[in-house]
Amino acid sequence: MRVRSGVSAVAVVAASALVLSGCGGGEGSGSGGTEGTVTIFNGEPENPLIPGNTTEAYGQTVIDPMFTGLIEYNPDTAEPYNAVAESIQTTDSKVFKVKLKPGWKFHDGTDVKAKNFVDAWNWTAYGPNATQGASFFSAIQGYDEVHPKDPDGTSGPQKAPQPAVDKMSGLKVIDDLNFEITLSKPFSVFPTTVGYGVFSPLPDAFFADRKAYEAKPIGNGPMKFDSREVNSFIKLTRNDDYQGEDKVKFKDLVLKVYQSREAAYSDLIDNNLDFIEELPTSALAGQQFRRDLGERVVEKDSLIVQQVSFPFYRKPYDNPDLRKAISMAIDRDTITKQIFDGTRTPSDGWVHPLIKGYRPGQCGEFCTFDPVKAKEYLARSGHKGPIQMQTNVDGGHKEWAEAVCNSVKNALNTECQFVQVTDFNEHRRMVNAREMVGMYRSGWIADYPSIENFLNPLVKTGGSSNDGEYSNPAVDAKLDEADRAPSEAQAIELYAQAEKMVAQDMPIVPLWSQKTQGGRSDRLKTAKLDAFRKLDLTSVELA
């Protein structure tokens, strides 16, 4: 999960010499540097700060400024530009030759070499390491050998067999600045994906002493780790030796851990917090936030969608008619108006409207509020018991989740039990442990700007965020066909066909996309959101 008006997807296609280029910083970027500390809202990251095992939003908020990958995404347009990579070249979208820029350093002073990317990717992909980001490497030749398939899925009692090797055959170090990537089949979108955090390099120190690294993580980004108090704060400090374009102008960044957005918002109003990337739902009612913050409101169209997912490993939610009934029982229009005061747009499919390849109406009648048809599908499903809705109640999710549950209850004339989970970490623990007992919140922030990112990780069998364990071989085959498409236009057409097929199963219920409302303190003269709903650190200037 990763963050302009008018965002477009960038699907890089095969060419005789592919070289991504562009400018990294948004308005206000530069190498200047004033002293000062900026404090921002965050929650407690789910895992230790290892890029390949960090796919949730709170962890990524820390990882993103600490690491720089082969490419980065422009904060205003989301288009990829070369960062550590000098070039990424291919003639067939299957074999990619990567050349690194010389002079890049990790925060411990060691050189960023080709092996640091290859070693990190192999470690993340290796099955026994059980990383959350492993499946992002599934396109690379040899992935199946280092990450054997679990015979009965994550929720089953059987374990995946021990791999015989720990390195993917598709990765080859040529020398310190060059390496080669061979995919198992052509994948035209691949170069766009490698700006996501799981593709970051790891220093030799990680492999020498992992515990020491976890205590003081070492990256290669514009900010480096300083200190941490669990459930309180994480402090980063500016890397004055940073080689990239996306430099920051302030000295220190403190990510303050809050148990609720409401508490953070109160601190923001009083100028005791400098930035919150998304205001609590309570502040949106009647546009209260505009009266509270005035010119301190920060707004951006963000590549984020809110969704509800189902545990296919738990009856009765493996029943497609029940899932369709639930979706048609949700009054998206009323909820977005009453709860969010019109700052959300009801979804009619799974792909974000600002992504290239979005097609209206992909969900069809199943995303249209229709209590009569919803009752018909409920009857067809044969389910007569209560329906459960689970979500963490921090982060401003309680109000809308209760509204969704009430809408289902009223439309279907059946009980909907709202099951509160105390916080995001516990919610994610339960999702990962396959402990969900009902439908549950599963919001999605794009990892990279591509239609593919709204489908493969979420609905492909074994996808990195397919936590409900949905599986449809026909959908998988169509997605594989799209991955192999020789051109962007052909890939988009095939991904759109796969999206349409998903509607017949409704493994995930699309709810709404959003314009994000954040806020800044008086201490910040400028501060912008990027397309991934994060503070664009290059834009920050102290007053």
Sequence-separated (6 or more) residues with CB below 8 Å from residue 150: 156, 158, 159, 160
Average pLDDT estimate for 511-517: 92
Is the backbone peptide bond immediately before 316 cis, with ω within 30 degrees of 0? yes
**The pLDDT of residue 19:** 40
Average pLDDT estimate for 252-277: 96
Sequence-separated (6 or more) residues with CB below 8 Å from residue 249: 28, 30, 32, 33, 34, 540, 541, 542
Residues in the chain: 543
**Is the pLDDT assigned to residue 250 strictly greater than 60?**
yes
- In tens, the pLDDT along 175-229 reads 999 999 999 998 988 999 999 999 999 999 999 999 999 999 999 999 999 999 9
- Residue 12 — very low, low, confident or very high, per pLDDT cuts 50/70/90? very low
- Kindly give the pairing relationship between strand 178-182 and strand 171-175: antiparallel
- In tens, the pLDDT along 131-159 reads 999 999 999 999 999 999 877 666 667 78
**Is the pLDDT assigned to residue 6 strictly greater than 90?**
no
Distance of CA 232 to the CA centre of its chain: 23
**The pLDDT of residue 152:** 67
Alpha helices in 11-131 (DSSP H): 57-66, 114-125
Q: How many C-beta neighbours within 10 Å does residue 360 have? A: 8
d(CA 523, CA 543): 5
Q: Please, which residues bridge with residue 85 across strands? A: 100
Sequence-separated (6 or more) residues with CB below 8 Å from residue 211: none
- In tens, the pLDDT along 465-486 reads 999 999 999 999 999 999 988 8
d(CA 345, CA 381): 29
Q: Which helix (H) or strand (E) holds 509?
A: strand 508-520
**The pLDDT of residue 155:** 63
Task: Tell me 140's DSSP state.
Answer: B
**The pLDDT of residue 154:** 65
Cβ burial 165-184 (10 Å sphere, 16+ → b, else e): eebbebbeeeeebbbebebb
**The pLDDT of residue 416:** 95
Residue among 165, 24, 170 at smallest CA distance from 98? 170
**The pLDDT of residue 263:** 95
**The pLDDT of residue 514:** 87
Residue among 25, 30, 40, 31 at smallest CA distance from 75? 25
d(CA 58, CA 264): 15
**Is the pLDDT assigned to residue 452 strictly greater than 80?**
yes
- Residue 424 — very low, low, confident or very high, per pLDDT cuts 50/70/90? confident
Percent of the chain residues topping a pLDDT of 90: 79
**The pLDDT of residue 157:** 75
d(CA 375, CA 381): 10
- For 428, the token pair is 């994610």
d(CA 515, CA 538): 21
d(CA 534, CA 350): 21
d(CA 63, CA 7): 23
Sequence-separated (6 or more) residues with CB below 8 Å from residue 217: 48, 49, 50, 66, 225
**The pLDDT of residue 29:** 33
**Is the pLDDT assigned to residue 5 strictly greater than 60?**
no
d(CA 276, CA 65): 16
Q: What is the mean pLDDT of the chain?
A: 90
**The pLDDT of residue 373:** 98
d(CA 87, CA 469): 37
- For 126, the token pair is 């290796």
Average pLDDT estimate for 525-539: 94
Please write down the HEC assignment for all residues of 255-305: EEECCCHHHHHHHHHCCCCCEECCCCHHHHHHHHHHHHHHHHEEEEEEEEE
**The pLDDT of residue 153:** 65
Q: Is 271 left (phi over 0), alpha (psi -120 to 50) or beta?
A: left
- In tens, the pLDDT along 267-325 reads 999 999 999 999 998 898 889 999 999 999 999 988 999 999 999 999 999 999 999 99
Sign of CA dihedral 23, 446, 351, 490: positive
Supply φ then ψ for residue 299, to 5 degrees.
-125, 150
**Is the pLDDT assigned to residue 404 strictly greater than 70?**
yes
Percent of the chain residues topping a pLDDT of 70: 93
- For 288, the token pair is 């209260």
**The pLDDT of residue 54:** 94
- For 451, the token pair is 């239609």
CA atoms within 13 A on the CB side of 268: 30
